[in-house]
Amino acid sequence: MLTIWGRANSVNVQKVLWCCKELGLAYDRIDAGLQFGRNNEPDYLAMNPMGRVPTLVDGDFVLWESNSIIRYLAMQYGPDNKNDTLYPAEPKVRASADRWLDWALSTLQPAERPVFWGYIRTNAADRDMKQLAAAASEVEKLWHVVDAHLKGRDYLEGGTFTLADLVIAAYARRWFGIAELARPELEHWYIGITQRAGFQRYVSPALT
């Protein structure tokens, strides 16, 4: 049995939960982070010295970093252990999917995090609207790049639903919880993804 540590309203935890659903994996989840605490206690830090969520425990194997966790799950538990759909084995398709995972953590999340926190986790009276509008306009530019890439495609890479779609859609849900769906290609792709059971169960719930 897998154990996933982390609160269910964390986008990085949501990716892992959704990935488990795509792969049909059972798991126990233990709340940790923010109001649940635990992530800075010694036993947690022994598993994950970053004190962040999620952390995956699979028997005696412990792994942190959400994108590394979903890659591991797809490789370890995907069909035939090769998973040629969720995490395609073909090197060019895999690398193309991987770049979105890397881009999400290196570029998209740092840009969207202040916007998410500003609108969702800050009281209206305490918001710096000028700063938030400037930050949101930077995030919008990033979504325009995704929109342009999606022209003529149903999925980000390889013609099937992959980890790239899973990760980018998890952030898209946060963005569209705040902003308008104003780009046709992005909207077409996103609406398709929202039909997936894992998205509906783990990512779609109200932003908190």
Ligand X SMILES: N[C@@H](CCC(=O)N[C@@H](CS)C(=O)NCC(=O)O)C(=O)O
Task: Provide the binding-site residues for ligand X, judged by CB under 6 A.
Answer: 10-12, 33-34, 39, 52-54, 65-67, 105
Closer by beta carbon to ligand X, 58 or else 147: 58
Q: Tell me which long-range contacts 188-191 makes (C-beta under 8 A, separation of at least 24).
A: 188/150, 188/154, 189/150, 189/153, 189/154, 189/155, 189/156, 189/165
Cα separation, 202 vs 54, whole angstroms: 14
- Shortest Cβ distance from residue 34 to ligand X (Å)? 4
Cα separation, 65 vs 190, whole angstroms: 24
Residue 198 CA from chain centroid, whole number: 12
Q: Which residue's Cβ lies closest to ligand X? A: 33
The full DSSP string for 26-41 is: -EEEE--SGGG--TTS
- Shortest Cβ distance from residue 171 to ligand X (Å)? 11
Closer by beta carbon to ligand X, 116 or else 150: 116
Closer by beta carbon to ligand X, 30 or else 105: 105
* Cβ count near 32 (within 10 Å): 24
Closer by beta carbon to ligand X, 66 or else 162: 66
Closer by beta carbon to ligand X, 107 or else 137: 107
- Shortest Cβ distance from residue 86 to ligand X (Å)? 18
Would you state the structure tokens that stand for residue 31, as one six-digit string? 């709340």
- Shortest Cβ distance from residue 159 to ligand X (Å)? 26
- Shortest Cβ distance from residue 188 to ligand X (Å)? 27
